[in-house]
Amino acid sequence: MDFDFDFGELETDATLPDLLVALYQGRFTGSLRLSRDEELTRIRFERGLPTWVDCEPELTSLGEALAQAGRFSQPEFESLSSYMRLRHCREEVALIRLQMLSPKELLVALRDRSRQRILACFGWTSGDYELEGTVRTAPEHKSPALDPLPLVIDGMRKEWGSERIHAALKEHLDRYPVPTPTGTEFLQKRADDDPLRLFAEAVDGTRSLASLTQESGTAGALASAWLLQALGWVRFRPTPVIDLHADPTANLEFEITVADGSDANAQAPREKAAADDPTPNRAAALDALGQEILERHAQSADANHYQVLGIASDADMRSVKLAYIQLAKRFHPDALATVEQPEIRQAANQLFARIAKAHNTLSNAARRKEYDAALGGSSAEDADRLGQAELAYRKAEILIRAGNFNGAEELLRPAVELWPDESAYWAALGWVLYKKSPPDLDQARVHLEHALELDPENAEAREHLDRVRASR
């Protein structure tokens, strides 16, 4: 990245995507301060990952946002406000004490709020940025680390739009991207349904960047292309890579000469042009797609998660992911930009939300067990074990925040034994083993590595594992 790494003007010296990529690759720890007129946003980073976002002025508190989203009733929100005033405590503390949110739900809410605050800054067309190398005051409740790469894609897709991203990629559009060894290594570690990985799978050097992005035609695909080149995970060739598996006759054209002088030669190009015209076929394909969307949407109303994904109830995790990827490629809103009928687009949005919910449940071992129990596919004993494990985990989270790592270990060990398929339990125990006195570095590493085996998207486990390895 060619910009001053300490301070500068947004858009003039660096864009927010530029900054997030540079800080991610530099594993920056500290704060990124963004200011515009009377607004101030400070994003705190640990080893390149955003962990907390402060805004001044804070127009909406976490409780207000949750109440507006329907999470609390108005009387409940007023009770929260009264408790904060009487006890002189922070809102996050009051939410826990009043049991309006569990510790785990609070962390999720804080993470979502941080994400939304960062996304809002993508819409800034002016302002200043400044890096502060040391975080002065750690927040009382730190949200789990955010993966900045999907943030960049979402922010560019929503706030920049296709035209601006296209302009940013202008110098590369006629060139042929190929993956770099570093890019291949990093992409293999990302989830199968990660949008960056899905786009990168089509990058093989045989098609220009313009062709790759036009094939999808969405701002999301353009943002993925921009991010791959910004990370250096692709390089560009002036000429295509020869595809040895291609049909050598695919691009050959033949001219037929008729000896009797008839106008067959003149008619042939017209027939070829008609055959090559994609409009009728494309319209028919769109009609068929619309009908499929409406039928699937109607069927999903009474379907369970397995039926929505089209898999058996005993399908393994890989089958769950593969089913989701295939459905996402076909029914994701970004992939349906050419569908213009409002009723079909609405049905598609609702259908994909149903698909995403099914995947979110079945791709997590603990949630899947709980769901199977509700369906009658698991015993009541399993549901009870899961409840005990989750209760122990939530209690341990409170002890971890209080610095009582030995006490947290006593709770997390039974949680892991009760429900060994939950990545969060293994990650928390690994971190406690590292932080307790004296630390057990070998077991901390083992537990954190297993957490990532269970859930490769667990950014906090990956961050903690890096710290454990660096301390050896």
- Structural domain boundaries in the chain: 7-131+142-146, 150-237, 284-363, 380-471
- Residue 113's closest CA among 48, 55, 33? 55
Q: How far apart are CA 58 and CA 62, in angstroms?
A: 10
Angle (deg, nearest 10), helices 16-25 and 219-231: 40
Output the pLDDT for position 299. 84
Q: Give pLDDT tens digits along the chain (472 positions).
A: 444 457 888 888 889 999 999 888 888 888 999 999 888 999 999 888 998 888 888 767 888 888 888 888 888 888 888 888 888 888 888 888 888 888 778 888 888 888 899 999 998 988 999 988 654 444 444 556 889 999 999 999 889 888 899 888 988 888 889 888 778 878 887 877 778 888 888 888 888 888 888 766 678 888 999 999 988 888 888 888 754 344 444 443 434 344 444 444 444 444 444 444 444 454 555 567 778 888 888 888 778 899 899 898 888 888 888 888 888 777 776 666 666 677 787 888 888 888 888 888 898 887 888 788 777 644 455 656 776 887 788 788 888 877 889 999 999 999 999 888 888 899 999 999 999 989 999 999 999 999 888 888 778 888 899 889 988 6
Task: Let me know: does 256 contact 269? Beta carbons within 8 Å.
Answer: no
CB neighbourhood size of 404 (10 A): 16
Determine whether domain 284-363 maps to CATH 1.10.287.110. yes
Q: What is the dihedral of CA 462, 467, 470, 472, to 10 degrees?
A: -110
Angle (deg, nearest 10), helices 441-454 and 459-471: 150
Output the pLDDT for position 139. 47
Highest CATH level, class, for 380-471 = mainly alpha
Output the pLDDT for position 256. 38
Output the pLDDT for position 32. 92
Helices (H), 277-364: 279-300, 305-309, 317-331, 342-362
Output the pLDDT for position 376. 62
pTM metric for this prediction: 0.51
Question: Residue 83 burial (CB < 10 Å; 0-12/13-18/19+)?
Answer: middle
The pair of three-digit structure tokens given for residue 460, joined into one six-digit string:
């906090």
Q: How far apart are CA 235 and CA 242, in angstroms?
A: 16
Q: How far is CA 182 from CA 151, 232, 234, 235, 468, in A?
A: 21, 8, 9, 11, 23
Q: How far apart are CA 371 and CA 448, in angstroms?
A: 26
Task: Let me know: does 266 contact 205? Beta carbons within 8 Å.
Answer: no
Output the pLDDT for position 470. 87
In sequence order, the β-bridge partners of residue 179 are 234
Task: Let me know: does 258 contact 265? Beta carbons within 8 Å.
Answer: yes
What is the radius of gyration, based on Cα positions, of the chain? Answer: 26
DSSP secondary structure string for all residues of 54-105: EEES--S-HHHHHHHTTSS-HHHHHHHHHHHHHHT--HHHHHHHTTSS-HHH
- Residue 164's closest CA among 15, 268, 317? 15
In a 13 Å sphere around the CA of 118, the CA atoms on its Cβ side amount to 33
Would you give the distance in Å from CA 366 to the centre of its chain? Answer: 20
Output the pLDDT for position 343. 79
Task: Let me know: does 154 contact 119? Beta carbons within 8 Å.
Answer: yes
